[in-house]
A and B are shown apart, each in its own frame.
Chain A
Amino acid sequence: MFSEALTALRRNTWMSFAAITTSCMALFLLGGMAFAYRGIAGYAETLPSKLEVRVFLKEQKTGFETKSAIEQIGKLKGVGSVTMVTKAEAWAKMQREMPDITKGITNPLPDALNITLKDVDSANNVAAAIRKMPIVERDGVKYEGETQALLSQTLTLLRWVGSALGGLMLLTGAVLIYNAIRMTIVARRREIRIMSLVGATRLTIVVPLLIEGIVQGAIGGLLAAILIVIGHQMMMKMLVNFASFIRVGALPIGMVFGSLVALGAVYGLICSLFAVRDPRGIA
């Protein structure tokens, strides 16, 4: 049955090529967008929320100074709570999340305070008051409500663009795989007729055709996974050179290949199931 499917793929080289490349592009767009979305969403989680101000403290400070600063900040109008995050705690968290990046490096992080606000409007006043404090690092007050909003918009855009483009490509790929299988049926009409006349079951007749669809989808998925891995590598290099402050998480390569090949195979199977509804009728 596999040899029958592979023979059909060879016979319909161009149609198979078109079906494979289109499903590859569809899966690349969907998969690429999904992994980009996952990466950006992960990055967004590491940023303070709209109601959060993060304050980085100087290295040279006493415990008394820190305690006093926490008390002062707690009394500011609009402040809900103040939590101390030591450099050791922050580093341990980062090592857990990004083991490849943190490996072999000594902890560069400062101690920090996480401040929760009661309302967004008080953020500017609170940030201005904290900046004046002597134990706070220069530019050590991070209020990233705007970045959050921008990221949120980017994520929404990615979701829409990814769904729309990927969906369109999936539809085109589906039509092409469907056509490739129908063409195989027409090309093999003589064999299918003979199989039918000698008493071959429907399963025997359609299984090679289903395998053909699965192979086309899986190859498309495999190529899409390769493209995503290459794209990710290129993006990593680019970010290291031009925007080193953005941390791009490592790509789970096994998951990328596994999920896209499996997704492609299921996609090919569904398309070919539609195409083989009545092979003897076409033949």
Chain B
Amino acid sequence: MSVEYGKYVRALTDVSFSVQKGEFVFFVGRTGSGKSTVLKLLSREVQATRGTVMFDGTNVSAMAESEVPALRRRMGIVPQDFGLLPRKKAWENIGYAMRAVGKRRSEVRKAIEPILENVNLAHRADAFPTEMSGGEQQRLAIARALINSPQLILADEPTGNLDAAHSLEIIQLLQDLNRQGATVLVATHDLMVLEQFKQHRVVTLDGGKIVSDGVPSA
């Protein structure tokens, strides 16, 4: 598939790959290489100019706009900037997202604690994002991505704003979620992370094209 922004900017050019259910894949490359675009194609934040994006047998590219919310409820999206609401406490950030997808208050009350426990943040439920460390904020963003028990987690630069220790902690968390059954796709340019998690598949992009695809430790 290819993605063009306007007439002159090509984000992706004739890229083709497939990811199996349960895989953990890193998309790496420099800024502007197209790794974030790959994730956005899957969540339909971006439309392919040419080609087809399939997700679990569904053609995402041909999907009507009204079907996109249902598609996104099968995914957990962790944006690059965390996307947390600063005036809401940690549990309220989760609750707000759950209410936005139509969950009842009683469901929200029951679900919040297990979700926060899953990312080791239950003890910080009443903290505001501004009172949390970068790692905690990222974990909260991941927790929010889990509200729909997603089959697929898309994490865009989840370690971009974190120090080494927190970066490893976040990838470890994503790895745990992968072990619980979720397919995880991570866009990153963090070489230290790649060095530590050599067992996972790495797709390298450069100038909107795939230049390598494989498992480093293999």
Measuring CB to CB, which residues of chain A are less than 8 angstroms from any residue of chain B?
A: 190-191, 193-202, 204
Contact = CB atoms under 8 A, between A and B. Distances in A.
B98 to A, nearest CB: 8
Contacts of A194: 83, 85, 96-97, 100, 144
Contact of A197 (B43, B70, B85): B43
B30 to A, nearest CB: 25
Interface string B147-183: 1100000000000000000000000000000000000
6 contacts: A197-B43, A199-B72, A200-B100, A201-B69, A202-B65, A202-B66
A196 B83 CA distance: 12
B158 to A, nearest CB: 14
Given A197-B72, A198-B77, A204 B102 contact: yes
B22 interface: no
A1 to B, nearest CB: 10
A197 B77 contact: yes
Interface residues of B, number: 22
Contacts of A198: 72-73, 77, 97, 100-101, 144-145, 147-148
B6 to A, nearest CB: 16
Nearest to A198: B97
B79 interface: yes
A198 B83 CA distance: 11
B73 A199 contact: yes
Contact of A195 (B43, B97, B145): B97
Interface string B89-104: 0000000110011100
A195 B101 CA distance: 8
Given A200-B69, A201-B69, A202-B66, A195 B83 contact: no
Given A194-B144, A195-B97, 8 more contacts: A194-B96, A196-B72, A197-B43, A197-B72, A198-B77, A199-B70, A199-B71, A200-B102
Contacts of A199: 69-73, 75, 101, 148
Q: Kindly list the 10 A-B residue pairs having the minimum CB-CB distance in the complex, ordered from nearest.
A: A199-B73, A199-B72, A200-B100, A195-B100, A199-B69, A198-B97, A197-B77, A201-B69, A199-B101, A194-B83
A274 to B, nearest CB: 19
A68 B178 CA distance: 111
Nearest to B97: A198
Contacts of A202: 65-66, 69
A225 to B, nearest CB: 35
A198 B73 CA distance: 6
A252 B146 CA distance: 57
Question: Chain B CB within 10 Å — which of A193, A194, A196 has the most?
Answer: A194
A140 to B, nearest CB: 75
A204 B66 CA distance: 12
Contacts of B97: 194-195, 198
